[in-house]
Amino acid sequence: MQYTEKQKTHTSKFLSLVLRHQPEAAGIRLDAHGWADVAALLRGMTDAGQPIDTEMLEEIVRTDEKQRYSFSADHTKIRANQGHSVAVDLELQPVTPPDTLWHGTASRFLESIMQEGLKPMSRQYVHLSPDIETAKKVGIRHGKPVILQIDTKRMHADGFALYRAENGVWLTGSVPVRYISIAPER
């Protein structure tokens, strides 16, 4: 079956809400590691007025440019790769990061960040990008973008744990101000 881009986008947004923030919106539960039963998810989303079938779900996962979701090896479970506001253990292991990672934000948040550092806010982790281009895309979603350069080499040496999600996003509990600088404009 063919789906319009509008249908896929609308369904993908609801899927993100369910798998990252409100599983109860589809009447499902996430396990301790964020996994949802695919059959229950399909039923729950359809019952919630967001009709979806296996084909559409697989297409959303396969074509999502941010690679937000992963299936279990047998495709009976699905979860969001990161970005949760509900407590889940994604079973991530600390990884040695590159020397520098990036964080895109809006200019209106800069003063607060430079006073308090980066905090996860409503999410479990602070999200860091592997490159400036990705950070800029993140920042522009929130307003006039500012790109922050994060000294992850020093953070790691100082004992901060950093994790790499399946989709390449780097995660950490917080980033104190001493590791943050404003990236030069390019």
In a domain, 87, yes or no: no
In a domain, 93, yes or no: no
Q: Given this model, what pLDDT does residue 29 score?
A: 96
- Report CA 107 to chain centroid distance, whole Å: 21
Give the helix/strand (H/E) hosting 111: helix 110-116
Q: Given this model, what pLDDT does residue 186 score?
A: 62
Choose one of 80, 113, 146: the last residue of a domain. Answer: 80
Q: Are residues 114 and 58 in the same domain?
A: no
Which of 80, 114, 101 lies closest to 12, judged by CA? 80
CA distance 132 to 104: 8
Q: Are residues 13 and 71 in the same domain?
A: yes
Q: Are residues 56 and 106 in the same domain?
A: no
In a domain, 166, yes or no: yes
In a domain, 88, yes or no: no
In a domain, 105, yes or no: yes
pTM of the model: 0.77
In a domain, 94, yes or no: no
Choose one of 80, 112, 137: the last residue of a domain. Answer: 80
The one-digit pLDDT tens for each residue of the chain (186 residues) are 677 888 888 999 999 999 999 999 999 999 999 999 999 999 999 999 999 999 999 999 999 888 899 999 999 999 999 889 998 998 899 999 999 999 999 999 999 999 999 999 888 899 999 999 999 998 898 889 999 999 999 999 999 999 999 888 999 999 999 999 999 876
- Report CA 51 to chain centroid distance, whole Å: 24
Q: Are residues 73 and 122 in the same domain?
A: no
CA distance 137 to 132: 9
Q: Are residues 74 and 114 in the same domain?
A: no
Q: Given this model, what pLDDT does residue 1 score?
A: 60
* Number of domains the chain is built from: 2
- Check which CATH number belongs to the domain holding 46 and give it: 1.10.10.970
Q: Are residues 66 and 123 in the same domain?
A: no
Q: By residue range, what is the domain housing residue 13?
A: 5-80
In a domain, 151, yes or no: yes
Q: What pLDDT, in 10s, does the model give residues 87-127?
A: 899 889 999 999 999 999 999 999 999 999 999 988 889 99
Q: Given this model, what pLDDT does residue 181 score?
A: 97
Own/partner pairs, 86-91, CB within 8 angstroms, 24+ separation: 86/20, 86/21, 86/22, 86/23, 86/30, 87/124, 88/30, 88/32, 88/33, 88/34, 88/124, 89/32, 89/33, 89/34, 90/33, 90/34, 90/163, 90/165, 91/33
Which residues 6+ apart lie within 8 Å of 24 measured at CB?
none
Q: Are residues 16 and 55 in the same domain?
A: yes
Q: What pLDDT, in 10s, does the model give residues 9-22?
A: 899 999 999 999 99
